[in-house]
Amino acid sequence: MIVISTTVPKVQKWLEDAFLQYAPQGSYCLADSEQAIYATTAVSWFPDLDHLEKLPELKLIHSMAAGVEHLNLDRIGTQYKVCRVVDQLHQKGMFDYLQWGVLYYQRFFDQAFVQKRQQRWRQYPQREHAELKIGIMGLGQMGGYMAKQFAALGYQVSGWSRSPKNIAHVSCYAGDEDFDTFLGQAEILINLLPLTENNQGILSKSLFDLLPEQACIINCGRGQHLVEQDLINYLDSGRLRGAILDVFSKEPLVENHPLWQHEKVVITPHVASHAPWSVVVNQILENDQRVIQGQALLNQVDTLKGY
């Protein structure tokens, strides 16, 4: 039995509709129903942990998305298993978004939009893939996939993660000792890190100082990774060329935020990629059966590491 647990009303409606459409009747329930005491898995987005901790059969707290920062892992600790949703269509959607972002800067489309407003005609050179250096922060299931895809297209790809990785045709860096070297060659820096206590505000002045002159930022991690005023300062100074931002510390982005009006910033409303609802529901159903049977879980999270 799966219980839907969220404190966000619109997400509650999304999950109810998705499970009604894709889950077998009787396989799920709402948090306030009598059947909740039989729940072995909670599908969650900012769940009510006080309520979940009262459910005697609960074994698994399952994020409805790829991220888990909304679950309060410090409180969950090791009392429950935690999983997230990872899917090939989700990965493909993210790559489509990031490839568009890379081409936006590679082909100088950012400059073309400025020139249109100025009614100015200037042609820019066409840069080959092999000339461009892409740096990817985070080499997990999502970031590792992106690194492989960009490398297959012929880009110079480097990646950084907390623990060592080995990806064909990708220069992999790990740990604090490699961080500066990694940043120094990233003309386009893509952030796909999970949000943890250690990396909040990682996209800040100290990081921007280490990037090549006129580097570009694409943030598809979490809004809390970015110190927004530091980014604005570096864009205004000309040190950074531009930024594509899909995530923000507060969403929706408030109407009077200076990022809306900044000509060097592209804003998308947290739409880089989403797994289809059918996939979300089926992965959670599968993991519920696995946790009941004591089998290995799909996309399990290390609650101590946060990813």
Q: pLDDT digits over 245-289, tens only?
A: 999 999 999 999 999 999 999 999 999 999 999 999 999 999 999
Amino acid at 285: L
Residue 86 confidence class, pLDDT cut points 50, 70, 90: very high
- What integer is the mean pLDDT of 95-113? 98
Categorize the per-residue pLDDT at 237 as very low, low, confident or very high, splitting at 50, 70 and 90: very high
pLDDT band at 89 (very low <50, low <70, confident <90, very high): very high
Query: What is the average per-residue pLDDT within 113-141?
Result: 96
Q: What is the 3-state secondary structure (H, E, C) of the chain?
A: CEEEEECCHHHHHHHHHHHHHHCCCCCEEECCCHHHHHCCEEEEECCCHHHHCCCCCCCEEEECCCCCHHHCHHHHCCCCEEECCCCHHHHHHHHHHHHHHHHHHHCCHHHHHHHHHHCCCCCCCCCCHHHCEEEEECCCHHHHHHHHHHHHCCCEEEEEECCCCCCCCCEEEEHHHHHHHHHCCCCEEEECCCCCCCCCCCECHHHHCCCCCCEEEEECCCHHHECHHHHHHHHHHCCEEEEEECCCCCCCCCCCCHHHHCCCEEECCCCCCCCCHHHHHHHHHHHHHHHHHCCCCCCECCCCCCC
What's the predicted TM-score (pTM) here? 0.93
Residue 70: per-residue pLDDT: 94
Closest CA to 189 of 169, 162, 209: 209
- Matching fold, domains 2-87+275-305 and 89-267: yes
CA distance 110 to 241: 9
Q: Point out the residues that are catalytic.
A: 222, 270
Say if CB 298 and CB 84 are below 8 A apart. no
12-60 residue pLDDT tens: 999 999 999 999 999 999 999 999 999 999 999 999 999 999 999 999 9
Q: Mind listing the pLDDT tens digit for each residue in 176-201?
A: 999 999 999 999 999 999 999 999 99
HSE-CB at 66 with a 13 A cutoff on CA atoms is 24
pLDDT band at 148 (very low <50, low <70, confident <90, very high): very high
Radius of gyration (C-alpha) of the chain in whole angstroms: 21
Q: Which CATH architecture has domain 89-267?
A: 3-Layer(aba) Sandwich (3.40)
- AA identity, residue 294: G
The residues with which 188 forms a beta bridge, in sequence order, are 134, 216
Say if CB 248 and CB 220 are below 8 A apart.
no
pLDDT band at 166; cut points 50, 70, 90: very high
Domain layout of the chain by residue ranges:
2-87+275-305, 89-267
pLDDT tens-digit map of 205-215: 999 999 999 99
Q: What is the mean pLDDT of the chain?
A: 97
When the candidates are 3.30.70.20, 3.40.50.620, 3.50.50.60, 3.40.50.720, the CATH number that belongs to 2-87+275-305 is 3.40.50.720
What value does the mean pLDDT take over residues 91-111?
Answer: 98
